[in-house]
Amino acid sequence: MAFIYILENQDAQRIKIGATHNHPNDRLLDINRMWQAVKGRCQICLSWRMLVNGRMPKHVLSMNHCAGSGEPPLEYSTKLAEKQTIDLQGQLPWLSGSDLRSASKRIKNLKKILQTYKENPIRIGGWQLRASFPIDSAYQIEELVHKALAVHLDKEAPFGEVFSCSAEEAISTIEETISQMKYKSTGL
């Protein structure tokens, strides 16, 4: 069994819609940690980890010590990530084939993430669990609901799947999507 869930932040007027195999309360805890920067995102490997005194804990990246260890996360500084972007851009003329493609992809991704963190919208309020639906096809439903609400997607949120529509609109979209799927599979 999986769940599709809606978290709501009333102060920020945002909702998050996701699917999980765990209990939605686990996602709620995690999202609040990310929102409040108790958990931060590494400037080098871009993974999320619980911070230690406002810095990234020691961690590995492809079997090696990650250079973002012990450094401030993106929530507090973007210097290392900017340096990484410039270094990668400098390497481009010497790369070809799949190396060139992966470096270009990484630069694009870094720039997008840096933009989000530089604009750094104020993270007000906290997240609460607004609704959850236990359903086997949660991940399929999630994809359809994300598509249906795409115009409301908040691209500046520090994590994905955040929307600016009301929780009511999201709930009715989920309910409609679930009944459409049931109709398709059973004809009822």
**Interface residues toward Zn ion, by CB under 5 A:** 42, 44-45, 66, 68
| Least gap, CB of 61 to Zn ion (angstroms) | 5
Residue closer to Zn ion by CB (options 44, 51) is 44
Residues 68, 73: Cα–Cα separation, whole Å: 8
Helix (H) or strand (E) holding 146: helix 138-148
Residue closer to Zn ion by CB (options 6, 81) is 81
Q: Are 35 and 124 in contact (CB under 8 A)?
A: no
Q: What is the DSSP letter of 153?
A: B
Residue closer to Zn ion by CB (options 55, 123) is 55
| Least gap, CB of 51 to Zn ion (angstroms) | 12
Strand partners, 163: 15, 153
Residue closer to Zn ion by CB (options 33, 146) is 33
| Least gap, CB of 46 to Zn ion (angstroms) | 7
Residues 6 or more apart whose CB falls under 8 angstroms from that of 61 comprise 44, 45, 67, 68
| Least gap, CB of 74 to Zn ion (angstroms) | 10
